[in-house]
Amino acid sequence: MDPIRGLHHVTAVASDPQRNVDFYRNVLGQRLVKRTVNFDSPDTYHFYFADEVGNPGSVLTFFAWPNMRRGVRGNGETNVVAYNVPVDSFPFWQERLKQNGIKTEAIDTRFGQNVLAFSDPDGMGVELVEVESLPAIHHWEEGPIPEAYALHGFHSITLWLEEVESTSALLTEGMGYQFAGAEENRHRFKSDRHALGHIVDLIHRPGKMQAGFGVGSIHHIAFRVANDEEQLTYQSMLSEAGFRVSPVMDRSYFHSIYFREQGGVLFEIATDTPGFLIDEPKTSLGESLKLPAWVEPQRAEIEASLLPLTLNPIKKASLS
């Protein structure tokens, strides 16, 4: 069984769909590569933001649930998603985020890398990490951010946990991660260093409050496998280890299995294939609403239930 290479995608919850698209597309410069619906609740949007083509490890997705209460950060949840950015790009990002009403924290240093933290408009934790050897992505040239400052896929995700031993064992013994060191209560695990999103950090927070799920929460994190056969191998291994693993679910752009690890965080294992180009060309990704075949007959009803959405014009940021 091949080890997990890194993240496939991260899925979170937003309140206002228009604000969500405006922030991740027009401010952070991530391309909206797919506009679809929550397959389990097709009267709500599901957005996918990523690099130009939606490479695994660059994909942040959102369920848009306008009537949900605000989430509360705490144990048993993924609490931060971090992106790679070029070295010396923080002054650009500090100013850009300030101009768009986002307050940034003081720059921190973690495992020898500079970290700039902030919360998105719904309160979700986001970090930018300066990385000298940036992983390869497909830069969205038509987006607002010059490549010299652009986000380069995921750097890491951070889980807050009551205890870390069982999750550590799952990562190292079951998924092929290697322990990479600790700083205070932060424990770092790495997979394929060439892959996007190959770092998982566990924060040990014994006795602290449990998370309250809601808007601004990260719903689940998805790890990538190459194909269906590899996914089935993981499904069998996890079931034999005592995890309650879902059947394989067809998400159109990948196939998924889900399980909750011992600390309470919802994990997914998703296939790299078939990808986001199966139902629209690269030139027009995300521009129209795409529905899975089994709900296509209800398109008129679904479209009537969704809030209007506009892809506002892109304003190019200056290099100076």
CA-to-CA distance for 212 and 73, rounded, in angstroms? 6
Distance (Å, rounded) from C-alpha 248 to C-alpha 14? 26
The runs of H, that is alpha helices, within 193-227 are none
Q: Cα separations (Å) of 81 from 155, 156, 176, 294?
A: 8, 6, 21, 32
Q: Are 70 and 313 in contact (CB under 8 A)?
A: no
Give residue 1's pLDDT.
Answer: 82
Q: What are the CA-CA distances from residue 166 to residues 84, 174, 181, 185 (Å)?
A: 28, 11, 17, 15
Contacts of 264 (CB under 8 A, 6+ apart): 75, 76, 77, 161, 210
Phi and psi at 107, nearest 5°, equal -65, 130
And the tokens for 86? 């070029």
Q: What would the pLDDT profile of 260-318 be if each residue is shown by its tens digit?
A: 999 999 999 999 999 999 999 999 999 999 999 999 999 999 999 999 999 999 999 98
Domain contains 2: no
pTM over 0.95: yes
Q: Are 208 and 138 in contact (CB under 8 A)?
A: no
Interval 245-265: pLDDT, tens: 999 999 999 999 999 999 999
Q: Which domain holds residue 255?
A: 7-305
pLDDT of residue 108: 98
User: What percent of the chain lies above the pLDDT cut of 70?
Assistant: 100
pLDDT computed for residue 318 by the predictor = 82
In a domain, residue 73? The reply is yes
DSSP string across 178-197: EEEEEETTEEEEE--TTSTT
- Tell me how many domains the chain contains: 1
Asked if the structure places residue 314 within a domain, the reply is: no
Q: Is the pLDDT of residue 145 over 90?
A: yes
The pLDDT tens digits for 55-104 are: 999 999 999 999 999 999 999 999 999 999 999 999 999 999 999 999 99
Token reading at 304:
């009537």
- The amino acid at residue 36 is T
Give me the mean pLDDT over the 132-136 stretch.
Answer: 92
Q: At CB < 8 A and 24+ separation, what contacts does 95-101 make? A: 96/27, 96/317, 97/27, 100/23, 100/27
DSSP-derived pairing of the beta strands 186-190 and 178-183: antiparallel
Q: Is residue 41 scored above 70 in pLDDT?
A: yes
Residue 151: inside a domain, yes or no? yes
Residue 320 pLDDT greater than 80, yes or no? no
**pLDDT computed for residue 130 by the predictor:** 98
Low-confidence winner among 120-134, 137-151, 305-319 (lowest mean pLDDT): 305-319
Reported confidence tier of residue 319, pLDDT bands at 50, 70, 90: confident
Please compute Rg for the chain using Cα positions: 19
In a domain, 96, yes or no: yes
Residue 319 lies in a domain: no
Q: How do residues 150-171 score in pLDDT, each as one tens digit?
A: 999 999 999 999 999 999 999 9
For residues 139 and 53, give the distance between their C-alpha atoms in angstroms, rounded to a whole number: 9
> Is 214 part of a structural domain of the chain?
yes
Three-point CA angle 83, 110, 193, nearest 5°: 55
Residues 203 and 116: their CA atoms lie apart, in Å, by: 18
Tokens of 60: 């942040």
Please report, for the domain that includes residue 186, its CATH number. 3.10.180.10
DSSP string, 58-110: SEEEEEE-TTSPBPB--BSEEEEEEEEEETT-HHHHHHHHHHTT-PBPPPEEE
At residue 40, the pLDDT reads 87
Q: 192 in a domain, yes or no?
A: yes
Residue 48 pLDDT class (50, 70, 90 cuts)? very high
